[in-house]
Chains A and B, each alone.
Chain A
Amino acid sequence: MSAVAQARPLAGFRIRPRPRTTELGLLAIVAVTLVVGAASLGATQQLREATEAGVTLKALDFTPPDPQGLLVYLGALLAVHVAFVLAGRRTDQVLLPTAAMLGGIGLLLMQRLPQDLVTQSFGGTQLGLGQLQLAWLLVALTVVATLAIAVRSDAWLRTYKYTWAAAGIGLLLLVFVFGSESNGARLSLSIGPVSGQPSELLKVILVVFLAGYLSENRALLAEESTRIGPITLPPLPYLAPMVAMWAIALGIVVVQKDLGAALLFFAVFLGLLYIATGRPSYVVGGLILFVAGAFVLYNLFGHVHARVDNWLNPWADPQGAGFQVVQALYAFGRGGVLGVGLGAGLPLIGGHLPVPAVHTDYPLAAIGEELGLIGLLAVLGLYLVLVSRGLRIASAGHDEFRSLLAAGLALVIGVQAFIIAAGNLKLIPLTGITLPFISYGGSSLLANALVVGLLLALSDRGAEPPPAPRDRRRRFRGFRLGKVRA
C-alpha cells in the first residue's frame, strides 16, 4: 500500500507566492470605479444641500460621504488579494473582483441612503446603515479569504452530506418554532443579541446536499426509467427526493411565508437535476408540480393570494398594499436610460422613503433610478459574469461532486438575483429575498461569501484529487477474497 502514499502526496502548507496579475488589474479598475462613484455621490449630496439651503457653491467639493469607510473597504480587498498571492493557489482570478464590484456598489448605495434606516449600537457607538454594511462586508471578505485559502479537500462536504441535510432541516425547524415574524414572514432567528435569516445559510447547505446526492445517483437517474403503459417516467424510487424537496418548498411557503426562499430552492433543485441527468422530462415534471403547488397555495393561503393580486394590479390600492410596487416602478421610470446620478434620487416624501424596503428588497429600484437602465444592465452583467465563471469552474471540475457543487453555487447566485430583479421590475410577484452582495444584511452577505469562497476553493487547478471513494472496508475484503492466479 506504500504506492498509495506515493501517488497521492499530501499538500503541504508551504508559502510559495504566485502572482495574480489579472486579479490585481481588475481590482484596480474596481478601486478607481468606486472612488469615482463615491466622488460623484459626495458632490451630488453637497450640491443638493446647498440648493435646499439657498446657498450658491463657489466650487464643487468631491469629498465622499464616508471616505474612511471606502478606504477601509479597498484596503481589505487589497489584503485579500495579497493573502491569495501568498497562499499561491491557482484559483480563479475573476470571482473576487466581480463580487467586490457588486459589494462596493452596495456599499455606496447604503452610504447614500438615510443612515438611520438601520442603526445598531456597540458599546456606546452608534453605527448607521453604511458603517454596518461595511462591517458585514469586512466579515464576508474574511470568510471568502479563509475558505479560498484553507479549503483544500472537499471530503468534509461530500462525506457528510446527510449530516448537512439534517443540520439544514434542523435549522428550518428552529425557525418554525422560535422564529420571529417581520413583514408577515417568519424568517429571522435571534440567538441573544445576534439575529439572522437561516434561509440564506440553508441555500448553501441545500446545494451541498444535492451535489452529494445527485453525484452518487446520477447514473441511475439518467439511465433507468419506469414504464407505465405508453408513458416513460423517471425511476420511481428516485423520484422520492424530488417530491420531498417539493414538499419542503411548500412547507417553507406555508409555515415561514417565505415565497422567495421556496422559489429559489425549487429552481436550484430543478436546475441541478437537469445538469446531473440531462433529462428534460425531470424539468417538465418539476414545472407541473410547481404549477399545481402554486395553484393550490394561491387558493388556500391569504398571503400568497395577496402577493399575486398585488403583482397583477398594484394600482388597485396604490397607497396601501401596492404602494411599494408602484413607487419602485416610478423610480425606474424617473431613472430613464442614464439615471439621475448617485445621490440625486427622489428625497424623502413626508419624512419617509418612497420605497421603504429599498435597502433589502428593492436596491435595484434605487440603482435603476440613480444609475438608470445603463447602470441596471451593468449590475445584471456582473451577476452574469459570476454565473458564467461558476459554470466554467463546474465544467473543469475533477469529478461529479465538484462539478455539481460549483454549478449549484453558481445557480444559487444567478437564480436569486433573477428572482429579486424580476420581482422589482414586476415581471413576477415580488418575493422578499435579497439581491446578492448588494442588499443590506449580514446573513445575506455571509451566505454569498460562503458561495464565492467555496467556488474559489473548487476552482483550484492544482488541487488535490478527490478523496478515495466510500467503502474502504468492502474493498479490502474483496481484495483478500482474490481467487487463484489467472
Chain B
Amino acid sequence: MDGFVIILWLVRLGFLLLIYGFLFAVARVLMRDLRAASRGPTELGRLVVLASPRGEPQPGASYPLDAVTHLGRDVNNGIVLDDPFASAEHAVLTYRGRNWYVEDLSSTNGTFVNGVPVEGLGPLGFGDEVQVGEIRFRLDRGRG
C-alpha cells in the first residue's frame, strides 16, 4: 500500500509542477513580447493620410509624429499639403502632457476635427479625423 501512496503523491506533485510549467512558459512568452515592444524608439503618434486627391501627401502614407508637427502648403512644414484650400502655415499638432492638440494657425479656410472647425487650440484623440481642404488625416497611436 505504501508504494501506491508514494506513486500517487508523485503524480499529484507532477500535476502541480505542470501548472507551474505552464505559468513559466507563459511568463517566457510575455517577457519575449515585452522585450520586442521595448525595442526601437516609441512614437508619440502617427498621422495616416486617408484622402489626398492631389497625391501630396500620398494617400495611405503614415507619418510618425514629433511632439510638434507643422502642416501647411509651405515646403518648410513637417508635412507638406498640396491643396488649394491649405494656407502656407495652416495648422500645428502638439503633444503636451498625455494628450494631442491641434491648433489652427489662423488659416484662411480652417482646420476640421471630425467635421467640426477648430477654433484656436482643440484637443485631438486617437482615431479622430483631421481635415484640411480636401486632405483628410487620422491620428493613430504610434507603433512599437
Question: A: which residues have CB within 8 A of B?
Answer: 1, 3-4, 6-8, 22, 25-26, 29-30, 32-33, 36-37, 39-40, 43-44, 47, 56-57, 60, 62, 93-94, 97-98, 101, 105, 215, 218-219, 222-223, 278, 338-339, 341-342, 371-372, 374-375, 378, 381-382, 385, 388-389, 392, 396-401, 465-466, 468-479, 482-486
Partner of A7, one of B49, B73, B87: B49
- In the assembled complex, the CB of A130 is this many whole angstroms from the nearest CB of chain B, namely 18
A6 to B126, Cβ gap below 8 A?
A: no
Partner of A8, one of B14, B29, B50: B50
Output the nearest chain A residue to B133 by Cβ-Cβ distance: A482
Partner of A471, one of B16, B87, B115, B131: B115
A474 to B116, Cβ gap below 8 A?
A: yes
Separation of A161 and B23 alpha carbons in the complex (Å): 36
- In the assembled complex, the CB of A469 is this many whole angstroms from the nearest CB of chain B, namely 4
B123 to A223, Cβ gap below 8 A?
A: yes
Separation of A101 and B63 alpha carbons in the complex (Å): 42
- In the assembled complex, the CB of B113 is this many whole angstroms from the nearest CB of chain A, namely 9
- In the assembled complex, the CB of A365 is this many whole angstroms from the nearest CB of chain B, namely 18
Output the nearest chain A residue to B12 by Cβ-Cβ distance: A341
B4 to A60, Cβ gap below 8 A?
A: yes
CB<8 Å pairs between A and B, sample of 25: A4-B50, A22-B29, A33-B15, A40-B8, A43-B8, A62-B11, A98-B26, A219-B125, A223-B123, A341-B8, A341-B9, A341-B12, A382-B19, A392-B34, A398-B140, A398-B141, A399-B125, A400-B125, A466-B138, A469-B115, A478-B112, A483-B110, A484-B109, A486-B107, A486-B108
Separation of A375 and B14 alpha carbons in the complex (Å): 12
The B101-144 residues at the A interface (CB cut-off 8 A) are 107-110, 112, 114-117, 123, 125-129, 131, 133-134, 136, 138, 140-141
B127 to A466, Cβ gap below 8 A?
A: yes
- In the assembled complex, the CB of B67 is this many whole angstroms from the nearest CB of chain A, namely 17
Chain A CB count within 10 A is highest, among B107, B109, B115, B138, for B115
A101 to B114, Cβ gap below 8 A?
A: no
Partner of A400, one of B51, B110, B127: B127
The B73-98 residues at the A interface (CB cut-off 8 A) are 73, 84-88, 98
**What are the interface flags for B2-36 relative to A under an 8 Å C-beta threshold, 1 for contact and 0 otherwise?**
00100111011111101111110110011001100
Output the nearest chain A residue to B143 by Cβ-Cβ distance: A396
Partner of B50, one of A7, A223, A479: A7
Partner of A47, one of B4, B125, B131: B4
A36 to B141, Cβ gap below 8 A?
A: no
B18 to A475, Cβ gap below 8 A?
A: no
Q: Within 8 Å CB of B7, what residues of A?
A: 60
B115 to A29, Cβ gap below 8 A?
A: no
Q: Within 8 Å CB of A105, what residues of B?
A: 19
Partner of B126, one of A62, A378, A388, A400: A400
Partner of A94, one of B29, B108, B123, B129: B29
Output the nearest chain A residue to B140 by Cβ-Cβ distance: A398
B108 to A219, Cβ gap below 8 A?
A: no
Output the nearest chain A residue to B26 by Cβ-Cβ distance: A385
Q: Size band of the B side of the interface?
A: 35 or more
Q: Within 8 Å CB of A401, what residues of B?
A: 127
Q: Within 8 Å CB of A25, what residues of B?
A: 25
Partner of B116, one of A32, A222, A478: A478
What are the 10 closest A-B residue pairs judged by CB atoms, nearest first? A475-B115, A399-B127, A33-B18, A219-B123, A486-B108, A3-B51, A469-B114, A399-B126, A474-B115, A466-B127
Further contacts, 19 of them, CB under 8 A, given A396-B141, A479-B112: A7-B49, A7-B50, A7-B60, A29-B18, A36-B15, A40-B14, A44-B12, A94-B26, A219-B125, A382-B19, A382-B23, A398-B127, A399-B126, A465-B138, A469-B114, A475-B115, A479-B131, A483-B109, A483-B110
A6 to B115, Cβ gap below 8 A?
A: no
Separation of A40 and B9 alpha carbons in the complex (Å): 9
Q: Within 8 Å CB of A101, what residues of B?
A: 19, 22
Partner of A385, one of B16, B30, B141: B30
Q: Within 8 Å CB of A218, what residues of B?
A: 125
Q: Is B65 an interface residue (CB 8 A)?
A: no
Q: Is B47 an interface residue (CB 8 A)?
A: no
Output the nearest chain B residue to A384 by Cβ-Cβ distance: B23
Output the nearest chain A residue to B123 by Cβ-Cβ distance: A219
A478 to B117, Cβ gap below 8 A?
A: yes
A40 to B73, Cβ gap below 8 A?
A: no
Q: Given known contacts A6-B60, A62-B11, A469-B114, is B141 in contact with A397 (CB within 8 Å)?
A: yes
Q: Within 8 Å CB of A30, what residues of B?
A: 22
Q: Within 8 Å CB of B15, what residues of A?
A: 33, 36-37, 40, 342, 371
Partner of A468, one of B9, B18, B26, B129: B129
Q: Given known contacts A339-B12, A486-B109, is B22 in contact with A33 (CB within 8 Å)?
A: yes
B52 to A3, Cβ gap below 8 A?
A: yes
Separation of A49 and B88 alpha carbons in the complex (Å): 88
B126 to A398, Cβ gap below 8 A?
A: yes
Separation of A179 and B49 alpha carbons in the complex (Å): 52
Separation of A78 and B17 alpha carbons in the complex (Å): 23
- In the assembled complex, the CB of A395 is this many whole angstroms from the nearest CB of chain B, namely 8
Separation of A389 and B138 alpha carbons in the complex (Å): 27
- In the assembled complex, the CB of B27 is this many whole angstroms from the nearest CB of chain A, namely 8
B25 to A478, Cβ gap below 8 A?
A: no
Chain A CB count within 10 A is highest, among B88, B125, B128, for B125
Separation of A485 and B134 alpha carbons in the complex (Å): 12
Output the nearest chain A residue to B84 by Cβ-Cβ distance: A485
Q: Within 8 Å CB of B23, what residues of A?
A: 378, 381-382, 385
Output the nearest chain A residue to B61 by Cβ-Cβ distance: A7
